[in-house]
């Protein structure tokens, strides 16, 4: 989680950073936070995050 947050600080426009943090949040039981991160990653162009968001957040 800390690595993903650091990567986001260095490159906030990289959807992979949000996707990774979303996966970490999901693993920690933070479904709401995971969905927010996957939605952001999806808006930044990540097809994988879009799929995760559709699968787990609706």
Task: Give the domain extent around 29.
Answer: 2-56
Task: Give residue 10's pLDDT.
Answer: 95
Q: How far apart are CA 32 and CA 29, in angstroms?
A: 9
Whether this model's pTM surpasses 0.85: yes
Contacts of 6 (CB under 8 A, 6+ apart): none
pLDDT digits (tens, 9 = 90+) for 7-46: 999 999 999 999 999 999 999 999 999 999 999 999 999 9
CATH number at residue 14: 1.25.40.10
Q: Give Dmax over CA atoms of the chain in angstroms.
A: 30
Contact (Cβ atoms closer than 8 angstroms) between residue 12 and residue 40: no
Tokens of 2: 């800390």
Task: Give residue 25's pLDDT.
Answer: 96
Task: Give residue 17's pLDDT.
Answer: 95
Is the pLDDT assigned to residue 4 strictly greater than 90? no
How many structural domains are present in the chain?
A: 1
């Amino acid at each position: 989680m800390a690595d993903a947050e650091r990567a986001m600080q260095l490159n906030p426009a990289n959807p992979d950073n949000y996707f990774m943090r979303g996966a970490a949040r999901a693993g920690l039981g933070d479904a709401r936070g995971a969905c927010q991160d996957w939605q952001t990653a999806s808006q930044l162009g990540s097809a994988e995050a879009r799929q995760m968001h559709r699968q787990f957040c609706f």
